[in-house]
Amino acid sequence: MLKDWCTWDDDYNKIVQDIRGKLVELATKENGFSSVLMQGSGTFSVESVIGSSLPDDGKLLVLTNGAYGDRIAEIARRLKIDVAVNDSGERQPPDLEALRNSLESDTGITHVAVVHCETTTGMLNPIEKIADLVKAYEKVFILDAMSSFGGIPIDAAELGVDFIISSANKCIQGVPGFGFIVARRKELERCQGRARSLSLDLFGQWSEMEKNEGKWRYTSPTHTVRAFAQALGELEEEGGIEARFNRYCKNQKTLVDGMLALGFECLLPREWQSPIITSFLYPRDEAFTFQRFYAELKSRGFVIYPGKITTGDTFRIGNIGDIDPDDILRLIKAVKESMYWK
Ligand SMILES: *Cc1c(COP(=O)(O)O)cnc(C)c1O
């Protein structure tokens, strides 16, 4: 990252092509997929897929159980795309019966979108079962795998996912600055002429990268891209997604065991919990405030997340990144020291 790279130079474009190939390999073992990198944070990539894949007469069904699912629906509304929403509430997985009913009764639906790990709560949505239904009804399937891609094994082709969306700074452990999409070539080709935005035109970006071998249409975040290439190398060194998944699972188990021992309670039952991020209920003590707890932890070198659910008081602790169970044990010690209300 300390070296400047030219956004149109061959050496740089080779790095981009290498990244694109590796992302496809991480997403599936089968052929027929390609990848596109897109400037901006993860949401820009989601917006690019929604805005470029739905035809004018298309209709999107969004299954939501949190803020990130809601965001997909909001993107569609802003773009004046016809959208139906099945909301199962923040504490429940998507309702498969409701999904079947929607697909059966609303024949206008062309695309279905869902979040894999709903980062709002930490819930891991049952995408295999959702994918089975979406494919049975022959709809295009869009997966926001922002906080799971690279950290939880999936095979896009086996599942029947058409678009997988993620970003540089989550489970791949790069730095922020761009997102990416792994998609079926056939579906990318269908995006031609559909985009509702110039800069977020998924087909435009993809065809430029294909034709000019790694060239982005507009200035790309070169340093971030170089760091991402490094991060992919480190994922490989670690042993790939399976090894990373195991480390995250150990981190998350160490976290929950430690927090339960200190008297905290989790929002979700364990069987719905992802190994990525965990929501904890506020302690039932008048003296507790999140601000003070946060400050106490920060002064000990740990930064946690506020809650994001609308019903109930929670805070969240993420356990992805270059950390292992020893770091989590240090965190638990810091939490214990930060329990000023005890
Ligand atoms: C992080 C995240 C996003 C994208 O958020 P940005 O702030 O735009 O990077 C989208 N969906 C999910 C599930 C996420 O965890």
Tokens of 94: 């998507």
Q: Are 166 and 42 in contact (CB under 8 A)?
A: yes
pTM higher than 0.75, yes or no?
Answer: yes
CATH topology of domain 10-238: Aspartate Aminotransferase; domain 2 (3.40.640)
Sorted by where each begins, the domain ranges of the chain are 10-238, 240-337
CA distance linking residue 259 with residue 250, whole number of Å:
14
pLDDT in tens, 245-296: 999 999 999 999 999 999 999 999 999 999 999 999 999 999 999 999 999 9
> Could you check whether 10-238 and 240-337 share the same CATH topology?
no
124: left (phi over 0), alpha (psi -120 to 50) or beta: beta
Burial pattern 147-173, b for ≥16 Cβ within 10 A else e, equals bbbbbbebebeebbbbbbbbbbbbbbb
pLDDT (0 to 100) of residue 311: 81
**Ligand 1 site-directed mutation target among 38, 43, 121, 279, most atoms within 8 Å of CB:** 43
What separation, in Å, do the N-terminal and C-terminal C-alpha atoms of the chain show?
A: 45
Name which of 129, 151, 87, 101 is nearest 310 in CA terms: 87
CB of 68 closer than 6 A to ligand 1? yes
Residue 141 to residue 158: CA distance in whole angstroms:
13
Mean pLDDT of 58-73: 98
119, 124, 149: which to mutate for ligand 1, most atoms within 8 A of CB? 119
Rounded average pLDDT over 322-326:
97
Q: Which residue has the tokens 């279905």?
A: 112
Structure tokens at 95: 């309702």
Stronger pLDDT, 8 or 228, i.e. the higher one = 228
Q: Residue 281: helix, strand or coil by DSSP?
A: strand
Q: Is 235 in the pocket of ligand 1 (CB under 6 A)?
A: no
Would you place residue 299 in the very low, low, confident or very high pLDDT band (cuts 50, 70, 90)? very high
Nearest residue to 28 (alpha-carbon basis) of 183, 208, 246, 220:
183
Q: For residues 139 and 102, what is the distance between their CA atoms, to the nearest angstrom?
A: 12
DSSP, collapsed to helix, strand or coil, labels residue 308 as coil
**15-27, pLDDT tens digit by residue?**
999 999 999 999 9
Question: Residue 122 in contact with residue 279, Cβ under 8 Å?
Answer: yes
Asked whether 287 and 338 are in contact (CB, 8 A), the reply is: no
Q: Which regions of 134-191 does DSSP assign to beta strands (E)?
A: 140-144, 163-167, 178-184
CATH fold, domain 240-337, is Aspartate Aminotransferase, domain 1 (3.90.1150)
39 Cβ inside 6 Å of ligand 1: no
Q: Quick count: other Cβ atoms within 10 Å of Cβ 28?
A: 19
CB 186 within 8 Å of CB 53: no
Report whether residue 119 contacts ligand 1, using a CB cutoff of 6 Å: yes
Separation between Cα atoms, residue 99 and residue 97, nearest integer Å: 5
Cα–Cα distance measured from residue 99 to residue 132, given in angstroms and rounded to the nearest whole number: 11
What is the whole-number distance in angstroms between the Cα of residue 68 and the centre of ligand 1? 7
Summarize pLDDT for 192-225 with one digit per residue, the tens.
Answer: 999 999 999 999 999 999 999 999 999 999 999 9
pLDDT value of residue 81: 98
